[in-house]
Amino acid sequence: MTKKALIFGITGQDGSYLSRLLLKKNYEVHGVKRRSSSFNTSRIDNIYQDPFVKKKKLILHYGDITDSNSVFSIIKKVNPNEIYNLAAQSHVAVSFEIPEYTTNTDALGTLRILDSILRINKKIKFYQAGSSEMFGKVMEVPQTENTPFYPRSPYGVAKVYSHWITKNYRESYKIFASNGILFNHESPLRGETFVTKKIVQGLCRIKFGKQKKLFLGNLYSKRDWGHAEDYVMAIWKILQQKNADDFVICTGKQFTIKQFLNMTARKLKMSLSWKGKGLNEKAFIKNKPIIEIKKKYFRPSEVDKLVGNYRKAKKRLNWKPKHDLNSLIDDMINYELKLLEK
């Protein structure tokens, strides 16, 4: 029997990789997209199917996770086997600017889905896109499923609520509701204001004379970066388990933003020399400043270091990352260079 999946957040980075994976696995894929004044489906355009195609495998519905009515009625209409909640205001820095909206989407949005499942069909399996941001000011290194949370942003706090309400609906109502605790994952389709994409895109453009400078914030925080393609495989596997559970998904390797930047520059054969400290730190190519630090990109409170341990996922999901940071950066650079060639 063909399985049906419903993805909230299908137009995002992970939504596009996950829908491709599920289509390959012969699912009928339903996705929720928001109404917007300009097209917001560029990441899924190459799998889009005309609404008049018979036996369509990808079906989009207008909806919004802040709107209980649309959440409830889409779930009722589709009655899927699996729901993936990837929808979120996912930018940590922006969550300080719009904390109430972030909470409505990233915390209450999850509750709206869970409560609809409870009232419509308790057999629907549910995946919640949790985040390593929940570990925030980390209480142990590396972070595992048992590490206590200490979120450092409205985004992180909202995700902690979602984590616990997912667990609560699992324990209270026996719903198959699982949390992924995913560390940073990137790809050519990463949003342009996240630091990896900003660096890769910025350096490629500078190399080809399309941009003069790149402005960044804190270069010394450390992240555990994986590839979105690997991580959506883990997400799918989490819902194929016999029992619902929570899983850390990461690479176990940690790098600073500056290391990421220097690796990208080396691959592009751009020879950077660094001078100065703090807000005066700059990177030069032949005496020309190309990277500068701006206060605007620092956050009111920072997550200084993240690194996870994926032992449980390896054992129980038989999952491990295929990409490392090198192949991730190569993939991102190749995509950017192809765009520039066009």
Binding at 126: pick from ligand GDD, ligand NAP, none (beta carbon under 5-8 Å per type): none
Q: Does 216 bind ligand GDD (CB under 6 A)?
A: yes
Q: Does 187 bind ligand GDD (CB under 6 A)?
A: no
Burial 109-141 (b: 16+ CB within 10 A, else e): bbbbbbbbbeebeeebbbbbbbbbbbbbebeee
CA distance 150 to 180: 17
**For ligand GDD, the closer CB: 117 or 313:** 313
Backbone angles phi, psi at 30, to 5 degrees: -110, 140
**For ligand GDD, the closer CB: 68 or 218:** 218
Q: Does 89 bind ligand NAP (CB under 6 A)?
A: yes
Helix pair angle (13-24, 228-239), 10° resolution: 60
Binding at 129: pick from ligand GDD, ligand NAP, none (beta carbon under 5-8 Å per type): ligand NAP
Q: Does 144 bind ligand GDD (CB under 6 A)?
A: no
* Choices 30-38, 269-277, 300-308, 334-342 (CB under 6 A): range interacting with ligand NAP: 30-38
What Cα–Cα distance (Å) separates residue 13 from each residue in 30, 100, 188, 283, 291? Answer: 16, 23, 9, 30, 26
- Whether omega before 99 lies within 30 degrees of 0, making that bond cis, reads no
Q: Does 143 bind ligand GDD (CB under 6 A)?
A: no
Q: Which of 198, 227, 305, 323 binds ligand GDD (CB under 6 A)?
A: 198
Residue nearest ligand NAP (C-beta atom): 12
CA distance 170 to 182: 19
Structure tokens at 63: 């909806």
Q: Which residues bind ligand GDD (CB under 6 A)?
A: 90, 92-93, 131-133, 183-184, 193-195, 198, 216-218, 221, 223, 257, 297, 299, 302, 306
